Structure 1
Amino acid sequence: MNDKGLVNFRDIGGIQVPSGKLQSGYFFRSGQIAGINQEQYSFLKDQCQIRDVYDFRSTDEVKQAPDTDISGAKYYHIDILSDKTSNGASLGAMITDGNQVHENMLKTYESIVLSESAQKGYHDFMIGLLKDDAPILFHCFAGKDRTGFAAAVILKVAGADDQQVMDDYLLTNKLRVQANEELLNRFKDEMDQQQLDNLHTALMVDPDYLRHANEVLLDHFGTFDDYLKNGLNLPTDYVAQFRNKFVTR
């Protein structure tokens, strides 16, 4: 599928899982869709037939760059990290002093698993999926952390193994090459080399981040199923309902 240059865009469906295949054409992930061009707009509206857009960005991020409104689609703003006073997944927080980026990202992923705003946000998102009978797009700013974790949860619920989940997660590093270069160019006159290096690191995903999220999840909840039940407060038959709806034999 030609993504028309949409940043970090992909359909996470189509993969084989033990009970069949996760439907393609339902779950699209991307970076923010602010200021997209007419061709990209038509692609999302007519080809992907997006009917629900879930935006995981902070209120400030949304104010600075509101999503392009896709006619016929409902828009849901779910601020995943509103509990965090400094939103580590926003652009401003990515450019830290010294060499703290890796450490900061690990902390961000802890918040993605444990903060109340994330648990409530992903609860609302996952419940929304069962109500949706049409394709959805979910995204944050870069489409890599808050979105990457949401994609991982969907894939695991569908029955994907850890390698399949990690493969989708790491695809971000390939799909953001051009967008990352443009961002670095935009800031190259305002930042010193250390800040630019930090920004570059922050714009990448690292297997450590997702692995750390998984460790935190298991430490606190014991199993992924218990995270769904006790962390996200989803019904005990959620996985069965999801697979019944979205996994084809």
Structure 2
Amino acid sequence: MNDKGLVNFRDIGGIQVPTGTLKPRFFFRSGAISGLNQVQSSFLKEACRIRDIYDFRSTDEVQQAPDTTISGTDYIHLDILSDKTANGASLGAMITSGNQVRQNMLKTYESIVLSQSAQRGYREFLLGLLQDHQPVLFHCFAGKDRTGFAAAIILKIAGANNQQIMADYLLTNQLRTKANQALLDQFRDQMTEQQLDNLHTALMVDADYLTHARDVLLNQFGTFDHYLTDGLGLPSDFVAEFRNLYVAN
């Protein structure tokens, strides 16, 4: 599918799982969708048939760069990391924090699993998938961390294995190449070499981040199913209901 220049955009459906195939053209992920042109807006509305847009960014991020309005869609803002960003954690803080970017990213993924705001947000997101049963686009700023974990949850619920989940997660580094370079070029005259290096690191995903999130999840909840029921508060039959709707035999 031609992404029409949308950053880090893809359909995560179509993969084979033990019980069939995760249906394509239902779950689209991307980076921020502010400032879209008419071709891009029409692509999301007409070709992708997007009906719900889930925005995982902070309130500040949304105010600075609101999503382009696409007629016929419902917009849902879920501030996944509001608990963390309220305490001063941000991309900007990571950039200026010496050489601690990787450590900060690992802490961010802990918050993505354990913070109340993340658990509330992912719960609402997943319940919405069952209620509406129509194509959705979910995104954050870069479409890599908050969005990457959401995609991992969907794929895991569908029955994907760890290799399939990681492959989708790491695809971000390929699909963000141009956007990352543009950001580096934009700030090249305003940052030190250390800060630029930090920015480059912060804009990338790393297998260690998602693996760390998985380890934190299992340490806290024991199993992925317990994360869904005890962490997110989803009903015990959620996985079965999801697969009934979205996994084709």
TM-score range, shorter chain: over 0.9
Q: Which amino acid counterpart does residue 130 of structure 1 have in structure 2?
A: L
For residue 94 of structure 1, what is the aligned residue in structure 2? 94
Task: Return the offset for 1:86.
Answer: 4.1
Q: Deviations over 1:194-247 (max 9, x none)?
A: 000000000000000000000000000000000000000000000000000000
Aligned residues: 248
For residue 184 of structure 1, what is the aligned residue in structure 2? 184
Q: For residue 83 of structure 1, give the secondary structure of its aligned residue in structure 2.
A: helix
Q: For residue 66 of structure 1, give the secondary structure of its aligned residue in structure 2.
A: coil
Task: Return the offset for 1:93.
Answer: 3.1
Q: For residue 191 of structure 1, give the secondary structure of its aligned residue in structure 2.
A: coil
Task: Return the offset for 1:134.
Answer: 1.5
For residue 171 of structure 1, what is the aligned residue in structure 2? 171
For residue 151 of structure 1, what is the aligned residue in structure 2? 151
Task: Return the offset for 1:133.
Answer: 2.4
Q: Which amino acid counterpart does residue 60 of structure 1 have in structure 2?
A: D
Partners in 2 of 1:11 and 1:132 — Cα distance? 18
Q: Which amino acid counterpart does residue 226 of structure 1 have in structure 2?
A: H
For residue 62 of structure 1, what is the aligned residue in structure 2? 62
Q: For residue 144 of structure 2, give the secondary structure of its aligned residue in structure 1.
A: coil
Matches of residues 76-155 of structure 1 in structure 2 within 5 Å?
A: 76-84=76-84, 85-86=86-87, 88=89, 90-155=90-155
Partners in 1 of 2:221 and 2:26 — Cα distance? 29
Q: Which amino acid counterpart does residue 77 of structure 1 have in structure 2?
A: H
Give ranges in structure 1 of 5+ residues lacking alignment. Answer: none
TM-score by length of 1: 0.98
Q: For residue 236 of structure 1, give the secondary structure of its aligned residue in structure 2.
A: coil
Q: For residue 138 of structure 1, give the secondary structure of its aligned residue in structure 2.
A: strand
Q: For residue 83 of structure 2, give the secondary structure of its aligned residue in structure 1.
A: coil
Task: Return the offset for 1:131.
Answer: 1.0
Q: Which amino acid counterpart does residue 112 of structure 1 have in structure 2?
A: I
Two-structure CA RMSD over aligned residues (Å): 0.9
Partners in 2 of 1:212 and 1:221 — Cα distance? 14
Q: For residue 201 of structure 1, give the secondary structure of its aligned residue in structure 2.
A: helix
Is the 2:133–2:245 Cα contact (8 Å) retained in structure 1?
A: no
